[in-house]
Amino acid sequence: MERVLRGLPASGGIVAGPVYLLRWEVPEVAPRFVSDADVEAELARWRRALEAARQRLALVAERTAQHAGPQEAAIFEVQQEMLADRSLVGEVEGFIRDRRGAEHAFDLVMLEWKRRFERAPQPMLRERVGDLTDLHIRVLSLLLELPDRDPVSVPKGTNAIIVTHDLTPSLTVQLDREAIAGLATDEGTSTSHVAILARSLGIPAVVGLRDATARLAGTERAVLDGARGVLVVNPSDEEVDAFLVRAQQAAALEAELRAQANVPAQLADGTRIVLRVNVDIPEESELAAESGADGVGLMRTEFMVLGRTGMPDEDEQYRAYARVVRAFAGKPVVIRTFDIGGDKLPVGGFPTEPNPFLGWRAIRMCLDQPDLFGVQLRALLRAAVHGDVRILLPLVVSVDEVREVRALLADAVRALQQRGADFRANVPVGVMIETPAAAVAADTFVQDADFFSIGTNDLVQYTLAVDRGNVNLAERFTPLHPAVLRLIQRTVEMGARGGLETSVCGEMGSNPLMAFVLVGLGIRHLSVSPRAVPLLKRILRAIPASAAIAAAEAALAAGTAGEAERVVRRLLRAAASDLSPAELGLLGPDQVDMFPRAGAI
């Protein structure tokens, strides 16, 4: 077997540990019929499996509640209720009485229920399809006597490397940081929600391995290198040593860079760059604040909903936002309204539309459900009392949407006034530029928006028609494509003409090579992952604005993304010549290239 499995980098860090293979897929079931004499025995077998599944769910809920919290554990209570449903149990038992084997009977019922739920007009039912799939897997695994592999069962201190096809919300909430050292998935890319989440949780991760779950038996040991996107199976002692040396070197350099965390982010000629961080879960805010960033440029509120069975209420949202705002003590905190849908799963975790990226998501969904949106707007206005909160709207394509939000904000103000609540009304409202429509028509927003934030993950996806989460397209996801660069350039120009701040909050900004180009295009505000802050500061301080402008001009003049990358890489190395060899090492092809091809280890 190939020992070096190459995927895509998702979250940096090198870890070694036992492989924990998580095959969370519905097992194949062959039709099976039994004789009349065996019906009672099949019924008994089914009831034992049902009871075992209930006990297992109770255990999973209890452990998840301990390490993640009761809201996260609620998903398993819902599944327990579904499993207790009398009509579900009755249908399975009916099929068994018709002389079907227990697993065959259960499989038929689940397939039918999933079909029914998927087509249901009520979103509440469609959202439960993911839970039905979980139950389908769990009960069939028991009936077929397959191994029980809930990630929550990994004992603390195991240092396990979880290898799975994709991370569902119910698997994600089970991840216990004290048991899991690394994460490897067949699916996903550097900008998919799994990768974003792994970075926020600080779990080293490789995604897009395609067939790792098929190749591995689950008995192996492995070394995972998240920054390079490789998983080395059953490494030799020398290989482990080599990785550990690299890990130590990286840690030493990181510590050195972190020691300078409080120097301002500026270019070599003194041009100030405002470097903020992306915060995806409120719990990471205190650590993120220590990165030396100038505030939060993007808080992705939808991660609060991941794996949950319902939306958080106003008080819970207020507490979460206030926590982030307080952690950044007066620095700007840009909080984005729910960007649910697309690759960010809805409540319940099941995409309820055939084409979710072009569907009812983000600002569209919020505007169509003013009651749900109002809760978030009121929580935001209340949190604004504690600092410099700014509201950011995702997936905007038309200025009408901004005006509608302003009207809803006015309603929220009235409601809070009537209630006598403590809040602040004059909160800036910004627009995410993440569709070609918004970039081309950026000028139409300047009267109504207070700032722009370019979401390059989606801007690249929608401009190049490349699904950001599709591993087969990862090489075609090229932020340096001339069309993308021109859209960014236009947005910066329109923002400047309208007197608006224009920042970049997509993953592109976390990458030194790309940041070099963005600064050259006139970007003066970046929002990046907290771990990227020290190195970016170091590199920004080594390059003068003139070199960045020359790089942007060269990139714009290049006919293709590949050509642009080559010329920009050369210019960055020349411009940042005073970096130490170790720092320059971090600019090697794997690290500088945001979406690297398979790199040598």
Residue positions annotated with a catalytic role = 193, 505
CA–CA distance, 369 with 364 (Å, rounded to integer): 9
Q: State in angstroms the smallest separation of the CB of 495 from Mg ion.
A: 18
The answer to whether residues 129 and 117 touch, using CB atoms and an 8 Å cutoff, is: yes
Nearest CB to ligand PEP, comparing residues 134 and 434: 434
Contacts of 583 (CB under 8 A, 6+ apart): 253, 535, 538, 539
Which listed residue (9, 188, 346, 455) binds Mg ion by CB under 5 A?
455
539 contacts ligand PEP (rule: CB under 6 A) = no
> Does 199 participate in binding ligand PEP (rule CB under 6 A)?
no
Per CB under 5 A, the segment of 118-126, 166-174, 268-276, 450-458 that binds Mg ion is 450-458
Rounded to a whole number of angstroms, the minimum distance from the CB of residue 434 to Mg ion is: 5
Q: How many residues in total does the chain contain?
A: 601
Among 9, 235, 430, 506, binds ligand PEP (CB under 6 A): 506
Residue 505 touches ligand PEP, criterion: CB under 6 A = yes
Q: How far is the CB of 280 from ligand PEP (least distance, A)?
A: 8
Site string for Mg ion, 421-440 (x = CB under 5 A): -------------x------
Which residue of 187, 284, 294, 339 would you call a contact of ligand PEP, by CB under 6 A?
Answer: 339
- 302 touches Mg ion (CB under 5 A): no
Q: Is 479 in the site for Mg ion (CB under 5 A)?
A: no
Report the phi/psi class of residue 349: left, alpha or beta, with left for phi > 0 and alpha for psi in -120 to 50. Answer: left
Of 458, 467, 583, 590, the one binding Mg ion (CB under 5 A) is 458
Nearest CA to 137 among 162, 165, 176, 118? 165
192 scored as a contact of ligand PEP (CB under 6 A) = no
- 72 scored as a contact of Mg ion (CB under 5 A): no
Does residue 307 bind Mg ion (CB under 5 A)? no
Is the Cβ of residue 161 or residue 438 nearer to ligand PEP in the bound state?
438
Order of strands across the sheet that contains 160-164: 4-6, 230-233, 221-225, 14-22, 160-164, 180-185, 205-207, 8-11
In sequence order, what are the residues at sequence separation of 6 or more whose Cβ sits closer than 8 angstroms to the Cβ of residue 87? Answer: none
Stretch touching Mg ion by CB under 5 A, among 299-307, 353-361, 448-456, 534-542: 448-456
Contact call for residue 435 and ligand PEP (CB under 6 A): no
505 binds, among ligand PEP, Mg ion, none (CB under 5 to 8 A by kind): ligand PEP
Longest dimension (CA), the chain: 87
Residues 526 and 472 sit within 8 Å (Cβ to Cβ): no
Q: What whole-number distance in Å separates Cα of residue 601 and Cα of residue 594? A: 17
Tell me which residue has tokens 């979460």: 320
Of the candidates 309, 394, 355, the one whose C-alpha atom is nearest the C-alpha of residue 123 is 309
Question: Any contact of residue 434 with ligand PEP (CB under 6 A)?
Answer: yes
Q: What number of chain residues touch ligand PEP (CB under 6 A)? A: 10
Task: Give yes or no for residue 346 binding ligand PEP (CB under 6 A).
Answer: no
Reference 115, options 100, 102, 125; nearest CA is: 125
Structure tokens at 197: 């989440």
Binding mask 449-488 for ligand PEP (x = CB under 6 A): ------xxxx------------------------------
Sequence-distant (6+) residues with CB within 8 A of 333 are 295, 296, 299, 321, 324, 325, 387, 388, 389, 390
Secondary structure letter of residue 501 according to DSSP:
E
Q: State the nearest-atom distance from the C-beta of 198 to ligand PEP, in Å.
A: 14
The contacts found for 60-63 with CB under 8 angstroms, 24 or more apart, are: 60/150, 60/152, 60/174, 63/152, 63/153, 63/174, 63/176
Which of residues 39 and 483 has its CB atom nearest to Mg ion in the complex?
483
Q: Compare residues 56 and 300 and give the one whose CB is closer to ligand PEP.
A: 300
- Site map (CB under 5 A) of Mg ion, residues 388-407, x = contact: --------------------
Three-class secondary structure of residue 432 per DSSP: strand
Q: Distance (Å, rounded) from C-alpha 475 to C-alpha 455?
A: 19
Binding characters for Mg ion, 28-47, by CB under 5 A (x = yes) = --------------------
Question: Distance from CA of residue 465 to its chain's centroid?
Answer: 20
Cα–Cα distance, 469 to 344 (Å, whole number): 11
Site size toward Mg ion, by CB under 5 A: 3
- Whole-angstrom Cα distance, residue 535 to residue 592? 11
Here the tokens at position 234 are: 């059953």
Decide: is 300 part of the binding site for ligand PEP (CB under 6 A): yes
The minimum distance between CB 576 and ligand PEP, in angstroms, equals: 25
Smallest separation (angstroms) from ligand PEP to the CB of 245: 34
Nearer to ligand PEP (CB atom), residue 47 or residue 308: 308
Q: For residues 396 and 416, which CB has a smaller minimum distance to ligand PEP in the complex?
A: 396
Residues contributing to the site for ligand PEP (CB under 6 A): 298, 300, 339, 434, 455-458, 505-506
Residues contributing to the site for Mg ion (CB under 5 A): 434, 455, 458
